[in-house]
Amino acid sequence: MYNVPKELQNLTIAEKLLIQRVSPLVPVIHIKNGILGSRGHIVSCDSY
């Protein structure tokens, strides 16, 4: 278990985009009716 500090709780998607240093790429595939799965490796890239 881990605790998320209150400063990082409730950040919106927009706020996360502005402060992120690393962007993970998750190869997501659509299975059926909005259900998602993952195929392959997950890679994280530096944001520039």
Partner 1 sequence: MFPVIHIKNGILGSRGQIVSFFQDISSIGKVLPRLPSEVQVVKVIRENTNIHGESSTKALTVNCERLIKALKWLHQYNPLYKDIIIDESRMNWMGGKNSCQFNDSAILKGDSENNFIDDERFFFTFIIHRFFYV
Distance CA 40, CA 48 (A): 25
- # residues near partner 1 by CB under 8 A: 30
* 41 is a contact residue toward partner 1 (CB under 8 A): no
Residues in region 19-38 near partner 1 by CB under 8 A: 19-30, 34, 36
Beta carbon of residue 31, minimum distance to partner 1 (angstroms, whole number): 10
Q: Which two tokens stand for residue 35?
A: 């259900």
Tokens found for residue 31: 């299975």
**Under 8 Å CB-to-CB from 31, ≥6 apart: which residues?**
37
Q: List residues near partner 1 by CB under 8 A.
A: 5, 7-8, 10-30, 34, 36, 45-48
